Amino acid sequence: MLQVDGYSGYDELARPNRPGGAITLAYCLAHTRREFFNVQTRAKDVVAAEALRRIGEIYAIEARIRGSTAQERVAVHQAETKPLMAAFWSWLMARLEEISAKSSLAKAIRYT
């Protein structure tokens, strides 16, 4: 797994037929948050506001475990963050089906 930003050059690393196999890309949550923040600032969008709230829950977990050992952080990520991220992803995919594909909100969702 490689943490990346939205630079499209990283897409090559995720190709299934890549020599050595595909690398799973993990996009930066701070950049994701910024996308939703920009939508919320411009349009006062309720979906963007909810996305920011959900990201805030994840940030709160990170703040709580800051300074913990790597093993403790992994355990918390698996037990708490992973289910929140899975629910967030499912929720975003459902919202994506309800909005214009050309909207700034859709762009923010696709960035995630």
pTM of the full predicted structure?
0.85
**Percent of residues in the chain assigned helix, strand, coil, to nearest 5:** 70, 5, 25
Low-confidence ranges of the chain (pLDDT < 70): none
The pLDDT value given to residue 5: 83
Percent of the chain with pLDDT over 70: 100
Q: Which two tokens stand for residue 4?
A: 């990346």
